[in-house]
Amino acid sequence: QTMRRRFGNVILCGFMGCGKSTAGRLLAQSLGREFVDLDTFIERKEGMSISDLFREKGEAYFRRCETEACRTLSRRSGLVLAAGGGTLLHPENTRLLRETGVIALLHTPYESIAQRLSGDHSRPLLERADKAAFMRSLYETRMPVYQSAADLTVQEAQSDAAAQKLQALLTA
Ligand code: S3P
């Protein structure tokens, strides 16, 4: 794990709205690494937003793009990579990303996440009438999956503090 930690990619995982992109960008900056957001990578490749991709091509198509992106990015090294909230639910993706990287879980309190997501409309999975209840049950079922995939975990509500804690763990 030391080699993967020193030279491989650092993959941030966690629930939607946990701060993967914000903390990832900050972490990349302080480690002098390149930052890649998996969703943005897919949006550029497909030439449309995640919302449009879900609407026009369906979730299954998006999930295939996600695995393809994991395959492409796992061939690179020295990246800080923000995964999507659903990326690690597919064992193939986790396997690909772990081969050349360490997986870090951003464990953000549910209350902070719910607050951030309440007025957000960029996540197609959450565009439904029972949003609040659905979000909570999704959080409960997904958290154990993230936990079992992660090499290390940071518990923090603020993205900047999370990035600092991660840096300390990674350079220890
Ligand atoms: C998803 C999370 C989103 C995005 C897509 C699906 C999920 O990423 O990949 O909307 O299944 O949890 P974020 O975690 O960056 O919101």
> Tens of pLDDT along 142-159?
999 999 999 999 999 999
- Bridging pattern class, strands 101-107 and 152-155: parallel
pTM to 2 decimals? 0.96
In the chain, the largest separation of any two C-alpha atoms, in whole Å, equals 46
- What distances in angstroms separate CA 9 from CA 3, 34, 92, 160, one per listed residue? 10, 10, 17, 20
Domains, the chain, ordered by start: 2-167 (3.40.50.300)
Q: Is the ipTM of this complex over 0.90?
A: yes
> Tens of pLDDT along 17-47?
999 999 999 999 999 999 999 999 999 999 9
123 assigned binding-site residue: yes
> Tens of pLDDT along 39-98?
999 999 999 999 999 999 999 999 999 999 999 999 999 999 999 999 999 999 999 999
Count helices and strands in the chain by DSSP H and E runs: 9, 5
Residue 27: DSSP 8-state: H
Mean pLDDT (the chain) is 95
Q: How far apart are CA 86 and CA 145, in angstroms?
A: 10
Closest CA to ligand 1's atom 2: 85
What integer is the mean pLDDT of 130-141? 96
Question: Which is the closest atom of ligand 1 to the Cα of 123?
Answer: 10
Closest CA to ligand 1's atom 12: 85
CA of 63 to the centre of ligand 1 (A): 10
CA of 172 to the centre of ligand 1 (A): 30
> Tens of pLDDT along 106-118?
999 999 999 999 9
Question: Which is the closest atom of ligand 1 to the Cα of 42?
Answer: 9
Question: Token pair for residue 59?
Answer: 């979730």
